[in-house]
Amino acid sequence: MLGSDDFVTIRGKRLGLKELVDPCLYDEAYLLNLRNRLQSAQPFQHLIENNWFNPVLLELILEEFELNDASAWRSVANKNQSTQRSVLGSSLGPASQIYFGLVNSGWFVQVLSLLTEVDELLVDAHLYGGGLHETKPGGRFGIHRDFDRHLRSGLHNEMVMITYLNKCWLPEWGGALELWDATATQRVTSVEPEFGRTILMRHGRNSFHGHPHPLTPPEGVKRRSLASYYYSNRFAKIDREARQNSLFLFMSKSDRARRIGKAVMPPMLWDVIGKLVRRIK
């Protein structure tokens, strides 16, 4: 249990561990209201909220963009996009690690499950497709739908969460995240990438989004954000049916017979036998 005196110090700035997120994220009424908003959002399920995360933490992360050397970045450049992302599995700065530790924690994932009604969400500690994102002047990210499965694990992509880190960003510089309709022919809404703003987007067949126009901020000003994806194993129910419990090397004959019986009998029949045995006892 965290106390009021629990804190970390990063580059001279003190962060209380109980102050890393907005207390509203512990409020069930607030979360249920968010769930209703998310499920009725158009053109696809999404949620936009400000100040979920401590601004001092986000300022420290912003510093770490500058502290990363060239080897920490991977450039993505083609006719559809021009951007940079942190290298898969790279060593992030301490503030960045705290943020991703938070959003990948069991508690936070339960919050996302409540909002989206997606049970048994899974996280990716390597941040495939996520991590630190940065777009320089002239860069863009065409309207697109995200990947449907994790490149390595094959898990199903359920949603992405993005937190923006852009202070004093002007709309005329471009870079607003555009959400398009199911036909991918019309922009429905735009989200300015303002500091401390978080957007959660469900992945689906029609979840088209991007910032398609080249950025025009002053030289040296970059569009920056943090991204994390969440997954599910849609075959988990089938896989669980083949699950085996721990096998002990030294077992009694009765335990071994019980294990064999459970393996060969249909689960329903095994449950019936178990109930009859308990009644006899």
Task: Give the model confidence (pLDDT) of 86-105 as tens digits.
Answer: 998 778 999 999 999 999 99
Within 8 A by CB and 6+ apart from 11, the residues are 60, 63
Within 8 A by CB and 6+ apart from 48, the residues are 191, 197, 198, 199
Q: What 3-state class would DSSP assign to 234?
A: coil
**176 has pLDDT over 60:** yes
In a domain, 49, yes or no: yes
By the 8 A CB rule, do 176 and 191 touch? Answer: yes
In a domain, 182, yes or no: yes
Rounded Cα gap, residues 81 and 210, in angstroms: 10
Rounded Cα gap, residues 49 and 201, in angstroms: 12
Question: What's the pTM value of the predicted model, to 2 decimals?
Answer: 0.85
Same domain for 165 and 52? yes
Q: What's the confidence (pLDDT) of residue 89?
A: 76
Name the phi and psi angles at 231, rounded to 5.
-130, 170
Q: Which residues form the domain of 184?
A: 7-237
Cβ-in-10-Å burial (0-12, 13-18, 19+) of 89 comes to: exposed
Same domain for 193 and 164? yes
**152 has pLDDT over 70:** yes
Distance (Å) of CA 15 to CA 118, 132, 260: 32, 21, 55
In a domain, 1, yes or no: no
How large is the average pLDDT for residues 162-182?
96
Same domain for 158 and 274? no
Same domain for 135 and 216? yes
Same domain for 226 and 192? yes
Rounded Cα gap, residues 134 and 34, in angstroms: 28
- The model's pLDDT over 26-35, given as tens digits with 9 standing for 90+, comes to 999 999 999 9
The CATH number of the domain holding residue 85 is 2.60.120.620
Quote the mean pLDDT of the chain.
Answer: 88
Transcribe 167-183 into DSSP letters: TT--GGG--PEEEE-TT
Per the DSSP assignment, residues forming a β-bridge with 21 are 53
Q: What's the confidence (pLDDT) of residue 202?
A: 97
Please, what's the b/e burial string for 172-199 (b: 16 or more CB within 10 A of its CB; e: otherwise)? ebbbbbbbbeeeeeebeeebebebbbbb
Higher pLDDT, 150 or 41: 41
Rounded Cα gap, residues 18 and 179, in angstroms: 34
Token pair, residue 272, equals: 């019936």
Q: How many domains does the chain have?
A: 2
Rounded Cα gap, residues 73 and 61, in angstroms: 15
Same domain for 177 and 258? no
Rounded Cα gap, residues 193 and 162, in angstroms: 10
Rounded Cα gap, residues 37 and 29, in angstroms: 13
